[in-house]
Chains A and B, each alone.
Chain A
Amino acid sequence: MKWEEPGGRGDVIQSAFLHCSWVGGVLSMINYSDSSRRKDVENAGEAGLEEARLRQQAIGVKLRHMFDEVVNEPVPDEFLEILKRADAKASGGGA
């Protein structure tokens, strides 16, 4: 999908593109080929969107999986011990 070509052909491509759309415009005045072509473009766009949506979905699944892996690890005893000590202190039982 590279539009930049060496040798300044970008201008040529652009003018060719402008010419095409102008011709397309004229054609669409004559018949409906332009609208059917537009439908093709729309379909291609939808396919692209669907593809992007699938990718985002896949990334989302992986992201949750990565996070949940840690969530599902057993909690080290240290956590509960620290909390227990603090709780004992709060209730006045601690030394």
Chain B
Amino acid sequence: MSTSRLGAAPKPASADDDGFKRELVQLIPHLRAFARTLTGDPTAADDLAQDAMMKAWDARASYQMGTNMKAWTFMILRNQFYSEKRRSWRQSQLDQEAAERTLVAVDDPEAPVALDELRQALKTLPEEQREALILVGAGGFAYEEAAEICGCAVGTVKSRVSRARRALAATLEKGGYGRDGKAAGDAMRSILGEADRLAGARS
């Protein structure tokens, strides 16, 4: 696509490149998961994750080996997501609709109901709260790392995460999107039960 005008000679394939590539490959599953939470749509998410992966590869010269590559690639992915979104909000509308269809389409009777309810509840959160909660609550990032990824202050991330947690609990408690005419509070009850089951399965 864009040819370098600086005419810099391509970096020779070095041990550095190999190490970088190995680390990058290991991060692909995490990039896919983060992209999925941002877009909500598996296909759009993989496109985004691939773009981010290639951006990271192209920028490998600016990456310092030994620093936090996961946080660095997540930041690239996030920036990519928002710049694409700004470029064509119309497309992102479509993505949103696709995401909703996908979320509704999960109709596996074996699938735990609570997962769906959590996804629905997540969608009701403001974007910046959702991403902060995902990074800290699911991605395993420290507040400081999440702040770096989102380009904001650590205190801001902390307050976003805590607001997101409160809002999520309230939404689940309320169960305002009634599935199968279930009584209010069932969403939280099923999540509590499901969490117990998962904890039991893990140990």
Across the interface, name the chain B residue whose C-beta is closest to A86: B57
Report yes or no: B191 in contact with A79, Cβ–Cβ below 8 A: no
Closest 7 CB pairs of A and B: A91-B13, A67-B138, A58-B195, A70-B33, A61-B195, A71-B29, A63-B138
Report yes or no: B32 in contact with A70, Cβ–Cβ below 8 A: yes
**B36 touches A (CB below 8 Å):** yes
Answer whether A62 and B53 are a contact pair too, CB < 8 Å, given A80-B25, A90-B10, A90-B11.
no
- Count how many chain A residues have C-beta atoms less than 8 Å from C-beta atoms of the other chain: 33
Report yes or no: B169 in contact with A79, Cβ–Cβ below 8 A: no
Report yes or no: B137 in contact with A75, Cβ–Cβ below 8 A: no
Chain A 8-25 near chain B by CB (<8 Å), digits 1 or 0:
000000000000000000
Which residues of B in the span 158-195 have a Cβ within 8 Å of any Cβ on A?
165, 168-169, 172-173, 188, 191-192, 194-195
Taking beta carbons and an 8 Å cutoff, which residues of A are in contact with B?
Answer: 52, 54-68, 70-73, 75-76, 78-80, 82-83, 86-87, 89-92
Q: A51: shortest Cβ distance to chain B, in Å?
A: 10
**B54 touches A (CB below 8 Å):** yes
CA distance A82 to B196 in the complex (A): 41
Chain A, interface SS category:
helix
Across the interface, name the chain A residue whose C-beta is closest to B172: A59
Q: A76: shortest Cβ distance to chain B, in Å?
A: 6
Partner of B57, one of A59, A66, A83: A83
Chain B 21-54 near chain A by CB (<8 Å), digits 1 or 0:
1001100111011001100000000100110011
Q: B178: shortest Cβ distance to chain A, in Å?
A: 19
Q: A49: shortest Cβ distance to chain B, in Å?
A: 13
With a cutoff of 8 Å between Cβ atoms, the chain A residues found around residue B192 in the complex are 54-55, 58
Report yes or no: A79 in contact with B50, Cβ–Cβ below 8 A: yes
Query: Using a Cβ cutoff of 8 Å, how many contacts connect chains A and B?
Result: 106
**B69 touches A (CB below 8 Å):** no
Partner of B199, one of A52, A61, A90, A91: A61
Partner of A59, one of B29, B53, B119, B191: B191
Partner of B32, one of A57, A71, A83, A87: A71
With a cutoff of 8 Å between Cβ atoms, the chain A residues found around residue B172 in the complex are 55, 59
**B100 touches A (CB below 8 Å):** no
With a cutoff of 8 Å between Cβ atoms, the chain B residues found around residue A58 in the complex are 188, 191-192, 194-196
With a cutoff of 8 Å between Cβ atoms, the chain B residues found around residue A87 in the complex are 13, 17, 21, 57
Answer whether A71 and B33 are a contact pair too, CB < 8 Å, given A54-B192, A79-B50.
yes
Which residues of B in the span 102-146 have a Cβ within 8 Å of any Cβ on A?
114-115, 118-119, 133-134, 137-139
Report yes or no: A75 in contact with B32, Cβ–Cβ below 8 A: yes
